[in-house]
Every structure is written in C-alpha cells, then in structure tokens.
C-alpha cells in the first residue's frame, strides 16, 4: 500500500489517495458568519493541490457557541448558497470534502459575550490567560438534547450544500471531548461517571447525524488518542470509545490529541511525555487499529514524504496534514510527481509555553491568510508579528461577531 492508492470507505465511496488536508481553524467568515470570498480562494488552493480528502476548519453548529469570532456557522439554510459555492470550489480537484462540525463547550472566549456551557462547571486552567475564558455552566438535559439536534441539523445542511461528509469533532478539548474526559466531566447523571456514560453524548450525536444523512454521505469522528493530562482521557479510553463507534456507521476515525491546556496537537504535553517531531500519534493509531472496524487516520506533524509513506505502510489508512499544507498547498501533487518537498515552520522556543502555543497557531493562520489572498506563504514570518496581527484581526472579528449575534437574538 502506498500514499496514492485509493481508499474505499465503509459507505462505498472512494478517496483518490491516502493524503488528507486536516482541519485548521481559518476564522475567515464573512459578516454573516458564512464562507467568505477569502475562504473560497484558500480552498481553491487546496483543491488544486491533489489531496484525496479535504476536511474544513471548524463549522459551528450553534452561532452562540464559537471557537473563534470569525468562525463559520451552519445552523440554518439562510446562507446555504455560500456553502454550496464553498463545496463546489473545494471539490473541484476531485477530493472528497467533509465539514468539521463542532461545539466549543468551555473553550469559548468570554469577550464574545455568550453564555458558556460545558458538562460541568470546570474552568480552563491557562495561567494568566484563564481570565479570557468564563467559568462554564453545567449543561441541563434540555441543553444537551438541543446540542445533539444541532449537530444533526448542520450535517443535513452540509449534505444539501454538496459536501460529501462531516467530521464530528470530539477532540482537542472541545465540548464532546470535555464530556469524554473525567477532568472536565464531573457529572453524576447518565452523562457522566463511567466511560460509557461520558461517551454517551458522542454516541448520541453520531446516531442523530447518521439518521438524517444518506448512506453514501460520510460520517467521521475526530478523537483524542489521549488528553496528555494526568487523570484525563487515556489511550485505553480511546480504544473503548472506538469499539462503541464500530457499529454506528462511522466511516473513519481521525486520531489527534490534546486541548487548549495541553496542546499535544502541536507536539507539546503536560504529562511529561516528549512527543515525536513527526507523526505524533502514530503509535496510538496502530493500537487503535487493533479494535477499529473503520479506517483510521492519523494527524500531527507529518511533513515529509518518507514519513507519510511509512504511516500508510504501517497499516494506518490515511495521513492527515495541516501545517505542511498551510505552507505548501500543492504538496500532494508534488509528491505524486516524485518531488520530496518538506515544508517546515521554524520552532518557537519561548519560555511561556501557552504564549508560544498561541504564536504557533498565529504563524499557521498567517500562512492561511496569505493563501486566501493568492499570495505565497511566508514560513519565516516573525512569530511576534504574526501573533500581534492575529490579535488585531481577532479584535475586529469579535466586533463583527457581536454585531451579528445581536441581530440574531434581537
């Protein structure tokens, strides 16, 4: 098996190769929190790049619950024409395109002015940055049911728009991941306690989504291989969750890891482990494959063709790449032509790990912004410059979002 062999999914559809453009948060919504012209240009670059699968950045299932102020929201059909255009552009190179649908739970900035919900009233622990996030309210049963239906509605609308699938985000410390972790889920009802109870929301979301989309529409799940925090969601937990998903019509499980508090998806952890510089989660993926009935995808740090090839040759079905395709969107096409490009960002070695993590995300978003303007990425950009530019942009988008949400709730 090699990177450019097709993969047939359980639903019968085919991915033309084993390379996926993994989700990266773009924060490029227009004034209606819909896909913007800049976002279309960005996805045209990836569509031309040759990946077999393109997974979008966060698409929010509830406009009151945002991972960032510039996030795209798909909660009704008012902006469906723009989503249809987004799907058309993204699929123009022959890739399948999946919407990553998400709810942030407690990982929503307080300055967005919305009530924050989570499984339990457990605040984020980010040192001096903790004050940027409100202590969440514990979700009531009616709020939980509303969230389940919102995931299903967004998936149904995504299929109507012409996307070929959705990926349900249950990783990186967002809401579904919060329910899975005993650190953030301290409930004593049917939604907390045992792993089966903590996984109940994810299971119910998957069932609700599968019930409203067609059989050939892909339903995938993004899952943490571990939280990388002591006392949190473990690799053994992940294996047990995958067994719960095995018979629910899931077409792929993507393995990543970490959260805002422990950004393992950037190669960092809080539990003392040192993660490999490429293919961070490959060891976990191989372990998960011993129980998974569906294809498994691993994402995290891959940027060189020999590493990507070794992932597939080890038996993992798909290789997800994020940062590498932010720097070089045509990497899959170049690899197919025999080139060995290996794009890389310089490491950020600031002492404050939380600020360094924010700077790393800002540098990646700087590259996305360049691509969205039809300009060449600049991997050598100053992390400080990228972070300051990001903060200024966030302030503008926050004001835009607050204007939009005030009209929604008026």
pTM of structure: 0.94
Supply the pLDDT for residue 258: 66
Contacts of 297 (CB under 8 A, 6+ apart): 20, 220, 252, 253, 254, 255, 285, 316, 317, 318, 319, 320
* Cα separations in angstroms, 40 against 15, 237, 250, 400: 22, 38, 28, 20
Name, in order, each residue with C-beta under 8 angstroms of 218's C-beta and a sequence gap of 6 or more.
9, 11, 13, 96, 98, 164, 165, 166, 251, 252
The residue whose two tokens read 């060995």 is 340
pLDDT in tens, 80-103: 999 999 999 999 999 999 999 999
What's the pLDDT at 228? 64
The pLDDT, as a whole number, for residue 268 is 44
| pLDDT at 1 (0 to 100) | 73
How confident is the model at residue 286, as a pLDDT? 85
Write down the residue that tokens 């728009």 correspond to. Answer: 161
* Per-residue pLDDT at 352: 86
Q: What is the CA radius of gyration of the chain?
A: 19
For 240, the 3-state DSSP assignment is helix
Residue 131: predicted pLDDT: 87
Q: Which helix (H) or strand (E) holds 403?
A: helix 383-409
pLDDT of 126 reads: 78
Strand ranges in 228-349 using DSSP code E only, listed in sequence order: 252-256, 296-299, 318-321
Low-confidence ranges of the chain (pLDDT < 70): 226-229, 258-280, 410
Residue 13's SS3 state is coil
Domains of the chain: residue spans and CATH: 7-344 (3.20.20.70)
Q: Which residue has the tokens 């410059």?
A: 385
CA 221 to chain centre: 10
């Amino acid at each position: 098996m090699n990177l450019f062999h097709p993969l047939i999914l359980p639903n019968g559809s085919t991915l033309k190769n084993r390379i996926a453009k993994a989700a990266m948060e773009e924060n490029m919504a227009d004034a209606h929190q819909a896909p913007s012209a800049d976002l279309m240009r960005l996805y045209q670059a990836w569509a031309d790049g040759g990946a077999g699968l393109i997974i979008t950045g966060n698409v929010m299932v509830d406009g009151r619950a945002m991972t960032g102020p510039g996030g795209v929201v798909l909660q009704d059909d008012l902006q469906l024409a723009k989503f249809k255009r987004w799907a058309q552009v993204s699929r123009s190179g022959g890739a399948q395109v999946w919407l990553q649908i998400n709810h942030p739970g407690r990982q929503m900035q307080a300055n967005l002015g919305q009530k924050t919900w989570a499984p339990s009233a457990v605040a984020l622990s980010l040192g001096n940055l903790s004050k940027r996030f409100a202590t969440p309210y514990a979700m009531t049963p009616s709020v939980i049911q509303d969230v389940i239906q919102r995931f299903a509605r967004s998936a149904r609308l995504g299929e109507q728009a012409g996307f070929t699938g959705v990926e349900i985000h249950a990783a990186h410390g967002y809401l579904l991941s919060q329910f899975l972790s005993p650190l953030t889920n301290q409930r004593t009802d049917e939604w907390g306690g045992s792993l089966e109870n903590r996984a109940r929301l994810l299971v119910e979301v998957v069932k609700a989504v599968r019930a409203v989309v067609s059989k050939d529409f892909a339903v995938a799940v993004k899952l943490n291989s571990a939280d990388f925090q002591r006392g949190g969601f473990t690799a053994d937990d992940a294996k047990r969750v995958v067994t719960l998903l095995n018979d629910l019509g899931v077409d792929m499980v993507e393995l990543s890891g970490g959260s805002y508090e422990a950004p393992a998806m950037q190669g960092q952890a809080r539990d003392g482990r040192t993660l490999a510089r490429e293919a961070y989660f490959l060891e976990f993926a191989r372990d998960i494959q011993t129980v998974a009935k569906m294809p498994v995808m691993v994402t995290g740090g891959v940027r060189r063709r020999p590493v990507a090839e070794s992932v597939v040759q080890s038996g993992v079905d798909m290789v997800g790449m994020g940062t590498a395709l932010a720097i070089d969107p045509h990497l899959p096409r170049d690899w197919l032509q025999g080139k060995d490009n290996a794009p890389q960002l310089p490491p950020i070695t600031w002492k404050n790990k939380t600020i360094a993590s924010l700077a790393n995300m800002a540098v990646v978003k700087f590259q996305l912004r360049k691509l969205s303007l039809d300009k060449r990425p600049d991997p050598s950009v100053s992390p400080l410059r990228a972070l300051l530019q990001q903060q200024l942009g966030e302030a503008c988008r926050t004001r835009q979002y607050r204007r939009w949400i005030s009209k929604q709730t008026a």
